[in-house]
């Protein structure tokens, strides 16, 4: 079974009712993939999707880290979803987390199923989830999180726009909660999967906010996310030169310098150090 990486740059979804797409997922190049039994599975197929997801995860789980997105804790399907998890998964995605009690119930259910240590990526995608994200993400069961813009906006009674102003606050709140809980966070989907430019811009925005990666619904988005969340050779070179110039200046008793026309002080140097930590290999 392929294990989850610490930071997921691209998390590719396909519906449990689409074995054709799921069988293509290992070749796409995503850091991890999700077989979705939640919103991409119709209510009429919840039971068959559960067993199909388990069989498909067993098929592909050796090739790519594979997770199953179960239904949320308040649904009639949740307990059976957890009881039917195959051994071959690298974790689960738990959607619409809203309360600590719900997380406790999920933790107990995983323990009962004999999987107490299975990594859990929590979906923060409702008004209550965003409002309480700080408390939710620090639950010990949570090893990562995603921000779900579509559900969040639906719950707010708002509407999605191209400039994302309706999610600015929530997206930042989830990044902040992830930082405080020390768990990586994954950014919202781009539903318009033909719009590569939008995906690129959103990846850059998300990285700037501190996100580690992007939810992907289509193969084209995976390459964009992998590249956007990996520092480029130019960025790494710039960061190395900056840190070295700053170190030399520090040794001379300076803490604010002119580096190639920009002021560099301790926090600016720290941003460059953070970037260097993301260097591949
Ligand atoms: N995983 C793996 N392969 C995928 C894929 C996915 N999520 N989505 C599309 N593909 C494949 C297609 O099968 C096609 O393969 P081919 O070149 O061998 O024919 C190729 O990528 C191009 O796909 P395209 O024709 O552009 O898209 P589509 O019309 O087949 O599918 C969607 C579009 C949106 C229906 C599909 O991408 C999808 O279901 N995505 C996931 C949705 C989901 O899980 N949502 C819930 C989580 S937010
Ligand atoms: Mg959702």
How does pLDDT run across 159-201, given as a tens digit for each residue? 999 999 999 999 999 999 999 999 999 999 999 999 999 999 9
> How many domains, the chain?
2
* C-beta of residue 114 within 8 angstroms of C-beta of residue 85: no
Which atom of ligand 1 is found nearest the CA of 193? 34
| C-alpha of residue 13 to centroid of ligand 1, in Å | 9
82 and 123 together in one domain = yes
| pLDDT at position 23 | 98
Task: Give the tens place of pLDDT for each residue, 9-31.
Answer: 999 999 999 999 999 999 999 99
263 and 131 together in one domain = no
195 and 218 together in one domain = yes
| pLDDT at position 280 | 87
In a domain, 117, yes or no: yes
In a domain, 107, yes or no: yes
Residue 180's domain comprises: 10-228
Block residue for tokens 């700037």 = 208
173 and 55 together in one domain = yes
In a domain, 4, yes or no: no
pLDDT over threshold 90, residue 230: yes
Residue 243: phi and psi, rounded to 5, are -65, -40
Q: Which ligand is nearest to the CA of 125?
A: 2
240 and 192 together in one domain = no
Region at 280 (left for phi over 0; alpha for psi -120 to 50; beta for the rest): beta
164 and 270 together in one domain = no
Q: Which ligand is nearest to the CA of 191?
A: 1
Tell me the best of 218, 220, 221 to mutate to test the pocket of ligand 1, counting ligand atoms within 8 Å of each CB and taking the most. 218
123 and 31 together in one domain = yes
pLDDT over threshold 80, residue 221: yes
Strand positions, DSSP E, the chain:
10-15, 32-36, 66-69, 91-94, 120-124, 142-147, 185-187, 213-216, 257-259, 262-264
181 and 254 together in one domain = no
| C-alpha of residue 264 to centroid of ligand 2, in Å | 41
In a domain, 2, yes or no: no
What percent of the chain lies above the pLDDT cut of 70?
A: 100
In a domain, 115, yes or no: yes
**What mean pLDDT comes out for the span 208-217?**
98
* pLDDT tier, 70 (very low <50, low <70, confident <90, very high otherwise): very high
In a domain, 3, yes or no: no
Which atom of ligand 1 is found nearest the CA of 150? 48
Cβ(19) to ligand 1 under 6 A?
no
> Kind and range of the H or E element at 237?
helix 233-251
For the chain, give the mean pLDDT.
97
**What mean pLDDT comes out for the span 23-44?**
98
In a domain, 210, yes or no: yes
**What mean pLDDT comes out for the span 54-81?**
98
């Amino acid at each position: 079974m392929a294990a989850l990486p610490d930071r997921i740059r691209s998390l590719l979804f396909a519906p449990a009712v689409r074995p054709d797409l799921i069988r293509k997922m290992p070749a796409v190049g995503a850091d991890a993939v999700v077989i979705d039994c939640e919103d991409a599975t119709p209510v009429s197929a919840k039971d068959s999707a559960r067993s199909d997801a388990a069989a498909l995860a067993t098929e592909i789980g050796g090739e790519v880290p594979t997770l199953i997105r179960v239904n949320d804790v308040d649904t009639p399907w949740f307990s059976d979803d957890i009881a039917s998890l195959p051994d071959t998964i690298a974790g689960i995605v738990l959607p619409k987390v809203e309360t600590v009690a719900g997380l406790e119930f999920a933790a107990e259910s995983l323990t009962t199923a004999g999987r107490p240590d299975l990594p859990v990526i929590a979906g923060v995608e409702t008004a209550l989830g965003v409002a309480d994200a700080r408390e939710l993400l620090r639950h010990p069961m949570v090893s990562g999180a995603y921000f779900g813009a579509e559900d969040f906006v639906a719950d707010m009674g708002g509407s999605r726009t191209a400039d994302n102003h309706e999610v600015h606050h929530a997206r930042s709140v989830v990044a902040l909660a992830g930082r405080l809980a020390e768990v990586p966070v994954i950014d919202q989907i781009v539903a318009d999967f033909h719009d590569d430019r939008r995906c690129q811009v959103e990846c850059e925005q998300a990285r700037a906010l501190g996100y580690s990666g992007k939810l992907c619904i289509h193969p084209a988005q995976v390459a964009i996310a992998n590249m956007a969340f990996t520092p480029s050779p130019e960025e790494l070179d710039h960061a190395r030169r900056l840190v070295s110039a700053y170190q030399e200046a520090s040794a001379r008793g300076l803490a604010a310098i002119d580096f190639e026309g920009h002021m560099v002080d301790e926090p600016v140097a720290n941003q460059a150090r953070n970037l260097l930590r993301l260097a591949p290999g």
